[in-house]
Structures are given as C-alpha cells and as structure tokens.
C-alpha cells in the first residue's frame, strides 16, 4: 500500500492547472457511428481487412493524455485503497461508454496503440497482488475464477464487449501472489497465457530509497528469478515503485543485476496523480509514468477517478483519441509543439 505522504508528494508535483482547464468544452459523443458512407469504395478482395468502424466522433488527438489506472484491493468495502466489485464494473461501463478501450502497458509505452478511430486508450494496473484481484473458487468440484474478483470482472466485461480489450498489468509480490498459495503457480501461468502482464513490484515492498544499491538490485532481481521459475522465458517489462519512491541511484530502477540475475524495466510507474502524456509527447518519460488512483474516496479530491475521467473527456484536446491508422500520428494544430520528433518512430505526422 502506498502511504498518504507518498500520494501527497506525487500530487504536489503535478500542476493543478492541468485539471482545471476549460470545463465548458463540448462533450464528445461515444455512440457507435454507422458503417462506411454511401458511395465509398467497397473493400478489395485481397486487401487487408476493412478498418473497424469509428468508436466515437471525437476528433483524433494522438498527443492527448492516457489514463493509467491504479487499483489495489478489490473487495467488499470501498476505501482509500479499495474498490468494490460493483464500483469496478461501473468504472468499466463508464470508460466503455466514453469510447475508452483497454491497451496493454507495453503497447502504450512503445507507441503501439492500434485502436479504431475515435477510441481512447486506457491502461489498467493492479498493485500488490491481493486476493480480490484474482481468486479461484471451487464449484461443483471444478476450479472457477471468482466472478467478483478483478480478473473475473474483466473476463465477464470482455465477453459482453469483446472490442473492449482484455488487457491489464498485475504488479505482483512474488511470495504471496494473490493469496491462495495452492493456486499461485496456476494464477501466474494463467496471466502469462492470457497475455495479461506481470509487473515487478519488488520482493518485499520496501521504499527503495532507504536501501543500498546492492539491496535495491536484490529487491528487483529476486522477483525476476521467482516468476521465471513458474513462467517459462519470463522477463519483466515494467516496475511499479512501491509507494512511488525511487532508489537513490535512479538508474537502478530500470536496470541492474544481483547474484547473476539481471533485470530490465522499460517502464517505471509512479503512484497516482493524473493521466499520463501520449507516448509521442516530449513530456513522456517511461522512467516516471504517472497513474490515476482508481478511487472516489473523498480524501483524494480533486484527484478522484470519476472527476479525472470527466475532465479528460470534457476538456478540449486533453485526451488521446485514435485516428484509426497505426501508421500515422494525428496531432491537433494547438498541440503540435508538444510532439517529440525522436518518438514518432518514422510514422507520418498529420496536423489537424
């Protein structure tokens, strides 16, 4: 769990002004648009599949922000660090209705966001591998995923809305990994098989700043070894810093070795604040990715999830909206100076 102090320090680093930008902008429709216009060329037989229909009529903005949502406990009581199954389902419904679609953290960080036109990416992350995130139940002699745990809820939502995307990253504490020690191996293997990401959250959830360089590397390499023993060919892609606190030697959060075990994190995540910059934005820093606390707890005002989503969708040019073409980067003219030329990966930039 993160401390109040660490949240406060994250929050203090963020400009409130960003949240308070023009509230009077037009709300964007999220209804599904009809198919191709009359008179449009029919798809050629040998051509690639026709593009998916637009998800909304929101103007493309691939320099907009992306909410990386941070969940902790999924359980019966709402709290500072807890979301009920009902509230989590409601989050999914709200996001879906606003045109958000789940992308993996890896695809966000590498700028591989392949969504239909008018859709906005959202990244789901779960810290601490508590049981409510992934629980097995025995039912009629069969092992089933609890429909009220996060994985069960995500599965069910994707059955109902297959275009939403079954994507999330679980920042696992390797020893306790989702409680139920008898199913630990099965759960980790399930995540890997389904393409859900397993992220590093250290071995013992210690504030890395307090540790020597050697201890930091031990904290980060031991999980690599432990998960690797269960999931073949496993390599971490990302780290969520416990309590959002970096080691003294910051570079060790990204890369290091201990006892012959190496680790490399291509993304390092902080504790919650506001939606993160587009991967093509010059402010994007994969070593310090901001997250949004998935809570409506009164104490975190004005950073509550529902308020942040509202701001994101109602503020002009604020959120990332796909143009439906993964080979181009659609940039509103007002944001063109925010583009980092070295991050465009040779994609064509289209200014609107």
Q: Which residues bind Zn ion (CB under 5 A)?
A: 127-128
Provide the minimum distance between the beta carbon of 222 and Zn ion in the complex, in angstroms, as a whole number.
Answer: 16
Measured between alpha carbons, how far is 184 from 168 in angstroms, rounded to an integer? 18
CB 85, min distance to Zn ion, A? 20
The distance of closest approach from Cβ of residue 230 to Zn ion in the complex, given in angstroms and rounded to an integer, is 20
Please say which residue, 269 or 330, places its beta carbon nearer to Zn ion: 269
Return the number of the residue (91 or 128) whose C-beta is nearest Zn ion. Answer: 128
**Closest-approach residue to Zn ion (CB):** 127
Measured from the CB atom, the residue of 128 and 197 that comes closer to Zn ion is: 128
Q: What contacts 11, CB < 8 A, 6 or more positions away?
A: 273, 303
Helix (H) or strand (E) holding 88: helix 85-97
Alpha helices in 181-304 (DSSP H): 184-193, 213-228
Least Å distance between CB 320 and Zn ion? 26
The CB-side HSE value for 84 (13 A sphere, CA atoms) comes to 8
> Nearer Cβ to Zn ion, position 136 or 171?
171
Min CB(206)–Zn ion separation in Å:
10
3-state helix, strand, coil in the chain (%, to 5): 30, 20, 50
Residue 127 CB, shortest distance to Zn ion, in Å, is 4
Measured from the Cβ of residue 180, the count of other Cβ atoms closer than 10 Å reads 15
Which residue, 96, 94, 55, is CA-closest to 322? 55
Residue 275 CB, nearest distance to Zn ion (Å)? 20
Q: How far apart are CA 68 and CA 307, in angstroms?
A: 15
Structure tokens at 94: 């709200």
Judged by CB, which is closer to Zn ion: 19, or 123?
123
Q: How far is the CB of 304 from Zn ion (least distance, A)?
A: 20
Nearer to Zn ion, 173 or 188 (CB): 173
The residue count for the chain: 352
In the complex with Zn ion, which residue's Cβ is closer, 28 or 130? 130
Query: Which of 127, 148 has the CB closer to Zn ion?
Result: 127
How far apart, in Å, are the Cα atoms of 310 and each of 96, 109, 132, 215, 229?
13, 24, 27, 42, 43
Q: At what angle do helices 85-97 and 305-314 cross, to 10 degrees?
A: 0
Q: What is the full DSSP assignment across 247-278?
A: PSSGGGGTEEEETTEEEE-SEEE-SS-SPBPP
What lies within 8 Å, CB to CB, of 228 at 6+ separation is 234, 235
């Amino acid at each position: 769990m993160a401390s109040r102090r660490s949240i406060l320090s994250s929050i203090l680093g963020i400009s409130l002004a960003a949240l308070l930008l023009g509230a009077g902008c037009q709300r964007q429709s999220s209804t599904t648009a009809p198919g191709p216009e009359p008179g449009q060329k029919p798809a050629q037989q040998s051509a690639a599949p026709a593009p998916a229909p637009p998800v909304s009529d929101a103007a493309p903005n691939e320099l907009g922000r992306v909410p990386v949502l941070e969940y902790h406990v999924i359980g019966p009581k709402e709290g500072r660090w807890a979301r009920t199954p009902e509230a989590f389902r409601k989050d999914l419904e709200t996001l879906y209705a606003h045109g958000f679609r789940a992308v993996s953290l890896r695809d966000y960080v590498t700028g591989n966001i392949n969504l239909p036109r008018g859709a906005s990416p959202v990244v789901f992350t779960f810290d601490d591998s508590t049981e409510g995130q992934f629980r097995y139940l025995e039912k009629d002699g069969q092992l089933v995923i609890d429909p009220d745990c996060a994985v069960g809820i995500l599965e069910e939502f994707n059955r109902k809305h297959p275009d939403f995307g079954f994507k999330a990253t679980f920042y696992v504490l390797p020893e306790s990994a989702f409680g139920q020690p008898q199913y630990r191996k099965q759960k980790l293997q399930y995540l890997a098989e389904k393409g859900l990401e397993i992220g590093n959250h250290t071995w013992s959830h210690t504030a890395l700043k307090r540790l020597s360089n050697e201890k930091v590397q031990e904290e980060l390499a031991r999980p690599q070894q432990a998960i690797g023993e269960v999931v073949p060919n496993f390599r971490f892609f990302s780290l969520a810093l416990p309590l959002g606190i970096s080691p003294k030697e910051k570079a060790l959060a990204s890369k290091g070795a201990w006892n012959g075990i190496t680790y490399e994190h291509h993304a390092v995540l902080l504790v919650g604040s506001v939606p993160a910059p587009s991967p093509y934005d010059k402010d994007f820093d994969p070593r310090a990715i901001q997250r949004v606390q998935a809570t409506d707890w009164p104490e975190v005002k004005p950073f509550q999830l529902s308020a942040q989503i509202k701001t994101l969708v109602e503020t002009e040019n604020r959120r990332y909206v796909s143009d439906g073409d993964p080979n181009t980067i659609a940039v509103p003219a007002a944001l063109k100076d925010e583009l980092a030329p070295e991050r465009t990966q040779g994609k064509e930039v289209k200014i609107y």
